[in-house]
A and B are shown apart, each in its own frame.
Chain A
Amino acid sequence: MADKDAHNGAFYQRDREWHPPAYAPIYKTSVKRSPNAALISLDNTISEITGPVFGHNMIGEYDNDLIQNYAKAGELPIGQRIIVHGRVLDEDRRPVPGALLEFWQANAGGRYRHKKETYLAPLDPNFGGCGRTITAEDGSYRLRTIKPGPYPWPNGVNDWRPAHIHFSVFGHGFAQRLITQMYFEGDPLIWICPIVKTIPSKEAIESLIAPIDMENTIPMDARAYKFDIVLRGRRSTMFENRMEGN
């Protein structure tokens, strides 16, 4: 039977010069957490082409709404109300439906709800800081939150993270597994952040900066930012694994 969508082969090789290297001394923690040996390169097997499936039915009504998913009844978190939306695509611009996105962030003051967090900015009793969603058939997703604040962190004595939202992404194969961060257009801290600077090129950094999107803004309510995520594309199997000369 001819497979209509024959793009179900191995995922394209990762461009390791586009991603941050494991060892990036500007980000000090990476120094002792980076392998010394070269990665062993292998084409995907069935173990990497496959991956877990997440159903839309596991997503709760407020899972993608960080404004409401932790707030007490009748209360709201403090901060700038924003919508983040976009699509998950592969490198061939095909939409990736059914992709699980998990996101987490600091509150409006730059404080995370975590035991090990010591920044003096206060917790917001109405903000938990995590959410999740699953992409639609066209790869689209949408979430609502409070714009996170920048925060200082121990690396250099005066290093600050730009405002950002962490994203964890599952595509269709475990080889597509990715964690990244979204930054906000116009933030001057982006270009002096050691973690951002682990990314080798300006072009790659810019691909993580979400522009303001006035067309998706809700007037008098919430501004919108557009953030597309790109996962590894995959080869066609049309001429693979066929006996020849028979």
Chain B
Amino acid sequence: MQQKLDRLKESPSQTAGPYVHIGCTPNFTGIHGIYDEDLGTRIINDKTKGERITIRGRVFDGTGTPLRDALIEIWHADANGIYPSPEDKRGEADPNFRGWGRSPGDMETGEFVFETIKPGVAPFKDGRPMAPHVTFWVVARGINIGLQTRMYFSDEKAANEADPILQRIEHKVRIPTLIAEKTGDGEYRFDIRLQGDGETIFFDI
């Protein structure tokens, strides 16, 4: 026998269930007085540098019905492409930028809304620029393990074409599922389809 690697296994995922909002956005569900404010409500403030944008969208199931019990989180770089995380050793991120947002979606329509800034360019592992993008993480009842995807911007055509992640996607026909449509000045729409026609690309990353 050889030596043992002696590693642990990651805790297995379990669905967030129908009541994830109790734990993650209690004020949204009407549980007041425990936390002053739900986490992830504000990504930017008045002093944050960068172009203001609003991202809206919904999450659809395989029948085309919007989810009204999902929790959507986003994570993205500041206007200079730096992440507000000690794991980013390239420099100091904008101190007025949180980088992370969380939305329970509208109780009736399921629409999520994020008020943030357009991210800058961050490098791929080999130094090539990645097009501006926003990482999405979606959980809900019926989702056994969180789904991760990326949102790119429809008005960054040249950068998207040179993006090392998008370039590696074999089925080019699916790439539009990762690109948010610009619907107005600073307004983007990014719908996520969990299954079937126009199914969003999800990553194991």
Q: What are the residues of chain A within 8 A of B92 when measuring CB–CB?
A: none
CB distance from A135 to the nearest CB of B (A): 14
Q: Which A131-164 residues have a C-beta within 8 angstroms of B?
A: 131-132
Q: How large is the interface on A (under 10, 10 to 19, 20 to 34, 35 or more residues)?
A: 35 or more
Whether B23 and A20, one on each chain, are in contact in the complex, defined by CB atoms closer than 8 angstroms, is: no
Contacts of B133 in A (CB 8 A): 47
The residues of A that contact B90 with a CB separation of less than 8 Å are 46
Q: Which of B39, B85, B204 contacts A16 (CB 8 A)?
A: B204
B73 at the interface (CB under 8 A from A): yes
Residues of B within 8 A of A16 (CB): 204
CB distance from A6 to the nearest CB of B (A): 12
Interface of B, secondary structure class, is: loop
Q: Is A184 an interface residue (CB 8 A)?
A: no
The answer on a CB contact under 8 Å between A172 and B87 is yes
Q: B135 contacts A174, CB within 8 Å?
A: yes
Q: Does A225 contact B (CB under 8 A)?
A: no
Min CB–CB distance B132 → chain A (angstroms): 11
A196 to B148, CA, bound (A): 22
Cα(A130)–Cα(B14), bound, Å? 18
CA distance A180 to B16 in the complex (A): 7
Assembled-state Cα–Cα distance A90/B11 (Å): 10
A52 and B19 within 8 A (CB): no
Instruction: Flag if B202 contacts A175 (CB, 8 Å).
Output: no
Query: Which residue of A33, A102, A231 is within 8 Å of B143 (Cβ)?
Result: A33
Number of A-B residue pairs with CB-CB distance less than 8 Å in the complex they form: 265
| A49 proximal to B (CB < 8 A) | yes
Taking a contact as CB atoms under 8 Å apart, the answer to whether A41 and B205 are in contact is: yes
Query: Given known contacts A34-B194, A50-B83, A113-B31, is B10 in contact with A18 (CB within 8 Å)?
Result: yes
Report whether A208 and B83 are in contact in the complex, using a CB–CB cutoff of 8 Å: no
Alpha-carbon distance between A4 and B148 when the two chains are bound, in angstroms: 31
* Bound: A156/B192 CA distance, A: 28
Q: Interface of chain A, helix or strand or loop or mixed?
A: loop
Q: Is B3 an interface residue (CB 8 A)?
A: no
Specify which chain A residues have a CB less than 8 angstroms from the CB of B205 in the assembled complex: 40-45, 48, 175
Interface size in chain B (residues, C-beta < 8 A): 79
In the complex, which residues of chain B have a beta carbon less than 8 angstroms from the beta carbon of A56?
A: none
Which residues does chain A contribute within 8 Å of B100, judged by CB atoms? 51-52
* Interface membership of chain A positions 33-74, coded 1 if the CB is closer than 8 angstroms to chain B and 0 otherwise: 111110111111111111111100000101100000110000
A119 to B186, CA, bound (A): 44
> How distant is the Cα of A99 from the Cα of B35 in the complex, in angstroms?
18
On chain A, the residues within 8 Å of B77 by CB distance are 47
- Asked if A114 and B21 sit within 8 Å, CB to CB, the answer is yes
Name the residue in B15, B67, B137 with the highest tally of chain A Cβ atoms < 10 Å from its Cβ.
B15
Contact string against A for B residues 6-29, beta-carbon threshold 8 Å, 1 for contact and 0 otherwise: 111111111111111111101001
Q: Cβ of A76 < 8 Å from any Cβ of B?
A: no
Contacts of B8 in A (CB 8 A): 89-93, 230
> Which candidate, A77-85, A198-206, A215-223, is the interface stretch facing chain B?
A198-206
Interface status of B95 (Cβ within 8 A of chain A): no
Q: Which of A186-238 contact B (CB under 8 A)?
A: 195-196, 198-199, 203-205, 207-208, 229-233
Residues of A within 8 A of B31 (CB): 70, 113, 128-130
Question: A242 contacts the other chain (Cβ, under 8 Å)?
Answer: no
Contact in complex: B34, A128 (CB < 8 Å)? yes
Minimum CB distance partner of A16 in chain B: B204
Q: Which residues of B contact A40 (CB under 8 A)?
A: 168-169, 201-205
**What are 17 A-B contacts defined by CB distance under 8 Å?**
A20-B144, A20-B145, A30-B144, A39-B202, A39-B204, A40-B201, A47-B75, A47-B83, A48-B205, A50-B87, A114-B21, A115-B29, A169-B11, A174-B135, A179-B20, A204-B12, A208-B11
Residues of A within 8 A of B (CB): 8, 13-16, 18-22, 24, 27, 29-37, 39-54, 60, 62-63, 69-70, 89-93, 102-104, 112-117, 128-132, 166, 168-169, 172-175, 177-181, 195-196, 198-199, 203-205, 207-208, 229-233, 241
